[in-house]
Amino acid sequence: MIPTLLTGVIPPVCTPLTPDREVDVPSLLRLVDHLMEAGVHGLFVLGSTSEAAYLTDAQRRVVVETVAGHVEGRLPVLAGVIDMTTPRVLDHVREVTRAGADAVVATAPFYARTHPAEIARHYRLIAAACPVPVVAYDLPAAVHVKLPGDVILDLAAEGALAGLKDSSGDLAAFREVVIGARTRSDITGFSVLTGSELIADAALAVGADGAVPGLANVDPRGYVRLFELCRGGDWELARAEQERLCGLFGMVTVGDPGRMGGSSSALGAFKAALHLRGVIECAATAEPQVALSPEEIERVGKFWAGAGLL
């Protein structure tokens, strides 16, 4: 069961693939165990870090069924319903909730040109049809629109949204939602989560309820420790831990920008690190991403060692 309020570290779970690009279920189960043993507070499948944009509908189904079936309610399982517009998102809502998701995470419409009024309508229609809580996913780098803070807060007040996962990088706008969610009398139980790997401490300091950092696949204990330090008000130690994680995050730049895009490099690095740690069987990323070279993978290992993870 999903708690009233999502809090803590909720990694966006990588989707391990076999060499021929099918979901590698045993590796996925090992990854989930690896995260749960580290003490994470929830799991987010089918997010951007999960390569949801690259998974077929059949593969998405396998992921949610596998993870929800394995977790069996010990932790909340959030599932992305990443698609272009309301009718297509609703199809995913049906699939992921049937497969056991405790909450869904939906972006603004994309590909289609959109408008704040249409974004609000989109979330209202999703909420009306969805049997579990709906979390808004603010990811301008992918959908090319920033979710307006006032729209989010109004949808929270209506009960259409149960939370926000903010991956915009804009901490000032994030704070506006945090303050609004806390001070508006018509809003209760709204969870504000940061998607940042690099300023999770700052987001928690301004009032975030939790964090959804992709790097938590690689170092879940680090982010759990960071969360506990922040919760305890131990900001000095939190900063030190965050800076260690910033160093580790440098791995996302190992890929040659002349040869591949940022997604190939970052997701390739996360998967290479999980492979090096023995968590997943194969580091392949989905098509048409470009694979890291052996030298680039070696550099991933150095970031890992540099962060004291050996």
Min dist CB 281 to a second copy, Å, is 19
CB neighbours (10 Å) of residue 188? Answer: 12
* Residue closer to a second copy, measured from CB, 37 or 150: 150
* Amino acid letter for position 196: S
Q: List residues near a second copy by CB under 8 A.
A: 21, 48, 53-57, 59, 82, 84-88, 90-91, 109-115, 117-119, 121-122, 125, 141-144, 169-172, 175-176, 179, 196, 198-199, 201-202, 205-207, 233, 235-236, 239, 243, 246, 257, 259-264, 286-290
What whole-number distance in Å separates Cα of residue 264 and Cα of residue 98? 31
* Residue closer to a second copy, measured from CB, 33 or 91: 91
Q: Which whole-number Å values give the CA distances from 53 to 148, 288, 289, in the listed order?
A: 23, 11, 12
What whole-number distance in Å separates Cα of residue 86 and Cα of residue 109? 7
Min dist CB 295 to a second copy, Å, is 17
* Residue closer to a second copy, measured from CB, 2 or 260: 260
What whole-number distance in Å separates Cα of residue 163 and Cα of residue 5? 8
Min dist CB 307 to a second copy, Å, is 14
Min dist CB 117 to a second copy, Å, is 6
Report which DSSP code applies to 185.
T
Min dist CB 157 to a second copy, Å, is 18
Structure tokens at 125: 């229609």
* Residue closer to a second copy, measured from CB, 128 or 305: 128
Structure tokens at 179: 């303050």
Q: 1-18: b or e for each residue (b if 16 or more CB lie within 10 Å)? A: ebeeebbbbbbbbbbbbe
* Residue closer to a second copy, measured from CB, 84 or 309: 84
